[in-house]
Each structure stands twice: as structure tokens, then as C-alpha cells.
Amino acid sequence: MASLKGHLLIASPYLVDPNFYRTVVLMIHHSDDGAFGVVLNRPKETSIRELWEQLGGSQCQAEGHVNLGGPVSGPLIAVHTNESLGEMEIIPGVYFAAQREHLEKLVTEEKQPFRLFVGHSGWGGGQLESELEQGSWLTTAATMGHIFCDDLDLWKKLTQQIGRTMMGSILKIKHMPPDPMVN
């Protein structure tokens, strides 16, 4: 299977794991050995500023909330647009960071878009491929718009978009209106 790095996993209605109910996961890494990503549409109540104060970091001026990246614990993770602070490129112009000094610069100095995640989503070798075969996930290429939006309806919008694309392809429809019921 081709790597899904830089793609979104959209939980299908058939996915029974409550950790991923109606989630959209940005895939950061995917190989034969396993995969990991972060959930884009699970903001926590904790603000970035509150979390940074709890960690004893420098003065933080960042706005926004921390996101729950998934059920697997681990270091804080940032997804951002500053190449110099990037430890891995996810899609062109979007980077991953987990090193403390990179995170500190993002939350204290940066004015570029970034998202901060507590925890992540992980799969062992072959596990994600099995879930895909079972129909647990839909996939689409990630864009900056998907990654940095704060839309809690992201799951709904993406499932509708994928559904329209699939229906149009199957029925060979050249133009599918946003709401086929008004056709």
C-alpha cells in the first residue's frame, strides 16, 4: 500500500472505536512498520497559554486551544508552517515538531499558523491497512485549509465531499450540485 503520509483519515460510520467517532486524522507518518497522526477535530478546553504555563515555559502569547491528537500518550506535538522549526515535512509547507525548543519558539515567537496536540493516534505494522480494508476509514489528500481550520464540522464536510465524488464517479456525473435534493 502507498504511504498515507500527508493524507486525512476520515472515520467512516462503520468505525466502532469511540476514540475515533467522527474524527479526521492528519497522517504524519505511514510505513510498513506502522503509522501515526493527529486528530484535527478534537479541541480540548485547555488553552495553549494555560498548558504552556503548566509546563513552566516562557511567556506564551499564543491564542487557541490545545487539541487531543489521539488516545496514545506521548510528547506535545505541533503541526506548523515554519520550515526552520520543522523536524519532518508532512505536506509541502506544513511541518511536524516535537522538540521542546521548536515548540517554545512556536508558542512564544511565531505568528505563523500552528496547532498544538496532546497525544497522538498510532497504528502498528499492518493495523491501519486492516482497518482500511474493513471500511473503517475514508481517505483524501490533506490541504493547509483542512489542517489549520477550526471547523468542528470538518468530519461532516469531508464525508459529504467524498460521498459526492464517489457518487459522481460511479454514475459518471460531470457536475454534482452541493445538495442533490434540489436538483
Domains in the chain: boundaries: 7-151
Q: Which residue shows C-alpha cell 497522517? A: 27
Residue 9 DSSP SS3? strand
Across the beta sheet with 24-31, what order do the strands follow?
121-124, 34-39, 24-31, 7-11, 137-141
pLDDT at 61: 75
* Nearest-angstrom CA–CA distance, 147 and 154: 10
CA distances from 51 to 43, 59, 109, 120, 176 (A): 13, 11, 16, 17, 44
User: Using an 8 Å Cβ cutoff, are 123 and 131 in contact?
Assistant: yes
In this predicted model, what pLDDT tens digit does every residue of 64-123 receive, in sequence order? 899 999 999 989 999 999 999 999 999 999 999 999 999 999 988 768 899 999 999 999
pLDDT for residue 148 is more than 80? yes
pLDDT for residue 152 is more than 80? no
Reported as type and span, the H/E element at residue 105 is helix 100-108
* Nearest-angstrom CA–CA distance, 152 and 43: 9
In this predicted model, what pLDDT tens digit does every residue of 13-61 receive, in sequence order? 888 889 999 999 999 999 999 999 999 999 999 988 888 888 876 778 7
Fold of the domain built from segment(s) 7-151? VC0467-like (3.40.1740)
Q: How far is Cα of residue 89 from the mean position of the Cα atoms in its chain?
A: 14
Q: Judging by beta carbons within 10 Å of its beta carbon (0-12, 13-18, 19+), is residue 73 exposed, middle or buried?
A: exposed
Across 131-145, average pLDDT = 94
pLDDT at 166: 53
At 173, the amino acid letter reads I
At 77, the amino acid letter reads I
CA-nearest of 4, 5, 23 to 13 is 23
Record the cell numbers describing residue 119, joined without a space.
497525544
